[in-house]
Structure 1
Amino acid sequence: MIDISELSQLCDKLGCRITPECSLSEYITFRFGGPCRALINVNSARSAVELIRFMKEKNIKYGVLGRGSNVLVSDEGFDGVILLFGSDFARIDVNGNTIRCDAGASLAAACVRAQQSGLTGMENLFGIPGTVGGALYMNAGAYGSEMKDIVASAEYIDEDCEIKTIKAEDMELAYRRSFFSGTERVITSVTMMLKNGDPEEIKSAMSECMAKRSSKQPLEYPSAGSTFKRPEGSYASLLIDQCGLKGLTCGGAMVSEKHSGFVINKGYATCADVLELCEKVKSVVKEKTGYQLELEPVILR
């Protein structure tokens, strides 16, 4: 049982905003999902430590959410507390060729700050709609670039609620996974090492990247980005195309006709619609091609 009054007192002490019985649909890019028992806007690494320690001591279920761009939330919601790493925890500092970001800073904002500082290396990541912390968690990437190409170190909260520092070479960064994936470790800041470049050339490259995204991806609809991980030896979108699944629907969810690697929300999709559609796609692709597709978004349970 969650004592909201006790939790609110802790939030007051830490200066964190808390919203009881908060709908999560506005906090994920798919724009659906039920409520959580409380949502807390985390404002610092130390606040995160205190809140997580409190949850563990009280045996309260909790989850961490950034911009919700690679997340599915069930229609029933999340029976626990969500720690939101967002605008209250989004500081970006530049020092020479390094850029240090709080985990809640948006990746797009970090890319812009790098460009303004004449630092190159993040251009291809511009447009990925997540936080810097979330991007490192899953080693996000696009157009041949990944977080592992630029990350130098990170700070995180370990399983014992201690803040630790880890270097890039120890992060086990691989395709859509890292040292943090599937664990209780919570990233609090990320430091990236970039190179000097011309601000105008960097800006031009970022604009080209966004133009490419806009022309090929269904950005006009809510989604979680690429719905399936890239299977070894092929591409999810290619396999889905080959199986004639573009435009396949289930309730308000649809395999995008613009880019079949995206399942989109036509405006009234539920989480159940999306999961049912994804299972249909996986089943047909497995039957017709032999490939086993795997969901890329994390399901917040």
Structure 2
Amino acid sequence: MFEKILDREQIFKDEPMKKHTTFKIGGNADFLLLPKTIEQILGCIKICKENNIDYYIIGNGSNLLVSDKGFRGAIIKLLKNFNKIEIDKNIIKAQAGATLSAIAKKAYNNSLKGLEFASGIPGTIGGGVCMNAGAYGGELKDVIKQVTILKDNEIVVLSNNECEFEYRNSKILKENLTVLEVYIELENGKQEDILEKMKQNNKTRNEKQPVEYPSAGSTFKRPLNNFAGKLIMEAGLAGKTIGGACISKKHCGFIINNGNATCEDVLKLADFACTKVKEKFDINLEKEVRVIGEK
């Protein structure tokens, strides 16, 4: 059915999702679709709805945990084909599948400052906007001018305020809207200053985060006036493992795939950490990673 709008090389059947997430975890999806245009994205969604097929849109799969049983339906992946980046003076226009690191590099190449914080974030701008991704004192809400989204099969443009950005949240995420394009507004800056800040951020990331292991980034949201990693460490859980999942000794806010971790391993370990932190500090940790698939 998807052959009506996509070429054969854009359609994969019974595709292992561990190949499409930074956690390297996940069973097979019935379909993996790689649209190249907005029209093809709309067409894929239309076919899914007409045939009662569940669908989920992903970028780099960097904040995602897919069930060991896989996903019954279609995964629409924007990373590979829907990733153009254009610049007009101090405005960057990026398709949803463009990576934050690629956009940050483009900004640097054009002497535009304000996106240095995102240079090491592994996700795409589409997913990043949904969860208002941030690091090192910066968040996407600080630089977003407007976002083109898909709502009820209509293309709608939201201003920054209309996105209702919060800490790791937005109206887009709450209402399960689809990001198509993002407009980022930056300021002119000196290339050497921009590069220095990017280098420093990436040095800090490499020193303090377990980037050498598959993960989904920070597993938990930051609790009010505290840090998830600090609480988990003080609960004595550094290095704790369940199956192939491990709480990183380098940064306890990260659960890493230490080998052949399953989705079940990660969720059990995350729940265990939440329970122990609640018992010791009476603080509720909330998972940041999104979980999809057959239960």
TM-score above 0.5, yes or no: yes
1:287 counterpart (275, 279, 282): 279
Do the aligned partners of 1:42 and 1:86 also contact (CA within 8 Å) in 2? no
Aligned residue for 2:212, secondary structure, equals: coil
Matched, 1:92 2:85: yes
1:44 counterpart (37, 46, 49): 37
Q: How far 1:8 sits from its partner (Å)?
A: 2.3
Question: C-alpha offsets along residues 9-58 of structure 1, whole Å, 9 cap, x if unaligned?
Answer: 3323xx87111111110100000100000100121122111111121121
Aligned residue for 1:87, secondary structure, equals: coil
Deviates more, 1:201-210 or 1:135-144: 201-210
Question: C-alpha offsets along residues 241-298 of structure 1, whole Å, 9 cap, x if unaligned?
Answer: 1111101100010100000010001121111100000111000000110001010011
- The TM-score, its normalising length taken from structure 2, stands at 0.97
Residue-pair matches, total: 293
Matched, 1:224 2:219: no
Matched, 1:17 2:10: yes
Query: In the alignment, which residue of structure 2 is the partner of 1:8?
Result: 3
Query: In the alignment, which residue of structure 2 is the partner of 1:234?
Result: 226
Query: In the alignment, which residue of structure 1 is the partner of 2:206?
Result: 214
Q: Aligned AA for 2:24?
A: R
Aligned residue for 1:19, secondary structure, equals: strand
Aligned residue for 2:156, secondary structure, equals: strand
Aligned residue for 1:257, secondary structure, equals: coil
Do the aligned partners of 1:16 and 1:40 also contact (CA within 8 Å) in 2? no
Aligned residue for 1:89, secondary structure, equals: coil
Query: In the alignment, which residue of structure 2 is the partner of 1:3?
Result: none
- Give me the CA root mean square deviation: 1.1
Q: Aligned AA for 1:254?
A: C
Task: Measure, in 2, the Cα distance between the counterparts of 1:182 and 1:174.
Answer: 11
Q: Aligned AA for 2:210?
A: P
Aligned residue for 2:158, secondary structure, equals: strand
Q: How far 1:212 sits from its partner (Å)?
A: 0.5
Q: Aligned AA for 1:85?
A: L
1:197 counterpart (186, 189, 195): 189
Identity across matched positions, percent: 40
Task: Measure, in 2, the Cα distance between the counterparts of 1:111 and 1:198.
Answer: 14
Task: Measure, in 2, the Cα distance between the counterparts of 1:178 and 1:85.
Answer: 20
Q: Aligned AA for 1:78?
A: F
Aligned residue for 2:260, secondary structure, equals: coil
Unaligned runs of 5+ in 2: none
Q: How far 1:233 sits from its partner (Å)?
A: 2.1
Matched, 1:247 2:242: no
- The TM-score, its normalising length taken from structure 1, stands at 0.95
Do the aligned partners of 1:49 and 1:162 also contact (CA within 8 Å) in 2? no
Do the aligned partners of 2:5 and 2:40 also contact (CA within 8 Å) in 1? no
Matched, 1:67 2:67: no
Query: In the alignment, which residue of structure 2 is the partner of 1:124?
Result: 117
Question: C-alpha offsets along residues 219-241 of structure 1, whole Å, 9 cap, x if unaligned?
Answer: 01000000000111211011111
1:268 counterpart (260, 264, 270): 260
